[in-house]
Amino acid sequence: MLEFLEYNFEQDTANACPIYLIKAEEFKLWLEGEESHVKNWIYASKFLASSGDICLVPDSSGNIEKVLIGLGNEEIRKRNRFVLGGVIKKIPNLKYKLVSEHPDLEVKEHYLGWLLSQYHFSKYRDQVQTNPRLVSPSMFDGNRTEKIAQGEALTRDLINTPTNDMGPSELEQSIRSLAELHGASVKTICGESLLEKNFPMIHAVGRASAELPRLIELVWGNHGPTLTLVGKGVCFDTGGLNIKPAGSMSLMKKDMGGAATVIGLAHMIMALNLPLKLRVLVPAVENSIASAAFRPQDILTSRKGLTVEVNNTDAEGRLILADALAYADEDSPDLLICMATLTGAARVAVGPDVAPFYTDDNNLANLLKESSIRVRDPIWEMPFHNPYETLIEPGIADLDNAPSGGFAGSITAALFLRRFVENAKSFVHFDIYGWQPTASPGRPKGGVGMGARAILDALPEVLKL
């Protein structure tokens, strides 16, 4: 069964110590309103409201009267997210309430940072956590923030769990548990049935593993516009017969990060009861090495009928996604979203913290970018550059899964996937990383969701909910 962090905001403000979030440019004005003993203490503490600065102000009895947290100047605030979350382990274990004159949107970020910073992965090692408590916010819906944080924690847990405990069957069980929680339905097409049901490329990629490949489908909601989420579920990627070197294989438990992210996003959508019809498709496989493994130079026929020459078995994600996208597209959804840990080229382009995305829908792109800025979930639009279409056309087959030359790897992968989508009203593909290399506020080292909060924020406007 799935386990969710229970944040349970404190409701009673009695004995709650106030936290003041102070911008550097507002510090002097704020200080003018304080009594002289408070001013003297703050001066002595050398608090200047720099980002992450902390000042514990005592009362006459020596108890903490208030806590000041510096947010820095405007330029620094653009760089640093979730500042409050970054100091949560540095302040006494008390009950707090947030005092702020800043816009609700800014306060929401800090509440979310507080929640995200409570995440810890303790499946294999007991980690006793004593976190300060926070009074439930009065200026906005704290329940929504809690559900978003729960979805992000679910994504992190799925990515952080190693493949011996998170193979295709366990990933399926996680989706089934989520469906049971929200009253959704799930069906799975598994093993040889993939061939019978015309999902040949999912079968080809996963057939060498002792874990049967499968396509997992969750359906929820009976009214409203249709949203389909497709997530890459490669639970481990050896690279297949084009085997990865050890250094490249060490993080391949996270190659199901696209699936983990859409599962976390699905929880947010269902927990918030958004008025839409949701469909989640996860092709779940292991790309293993055995006598049954698919080979370089094999030509596979996809669900859509397009033939694909395999020029690298390590470019397997786009193969399983192609069948899943073709299946999704058959229902002509209003919005089709694909999320995948697909290419190293995307990391070279934008690094680990930014999720590049591709779409031909300019309005959708603009709404996603606006939401990204609003909720501090960084994404970046990349081009479906049509002149590169020739790079994915090998001549011997309709498509090449791994064009030679090394240029534009993320773009050519996105173009490959677009070939399998014709009927969806809008289509967007995210090439995510799914991993936080070093700890930062609200984002401990390990698995991490990317783009889900931006998508969630944009959905009401995109789908006219």
Residues acting as catalytic residues:
244, 318
In sequence order, what are the beta bridge partners of 336?
228, 427
Q: Length of the chain, please?
A: 465
Q: Nearest 10 degrees: CA dihedral of 158, 261, 431, 244? A: 10
* Angle formed at CA 201 by CA 195 and CA 205, multiple of 5 degrees: 105
* Rama region for 276: left / alpha / beta (φ>0; ψ in -120 to 50; rest): beta
> Structure tokens of 177?
């548990």
Strand order of the β-sheet with 299-301 is 299-301, 307-309, 399-400
> Structure tokens of 190?
């598994």
Whole-angstrom distance, CA of residue 168 vs CA of residue 213:
7
Torsion angles phi and psi, residue 67, rounded to 5: -120, 130
Whole-number Cα distances in Å, 342 to 401, 407, 409: 12, 15, 10
Element containing residue 179 per DSSP (H, E): helix 168-182
CA atoms within 13 A on the CB side of 235: 28
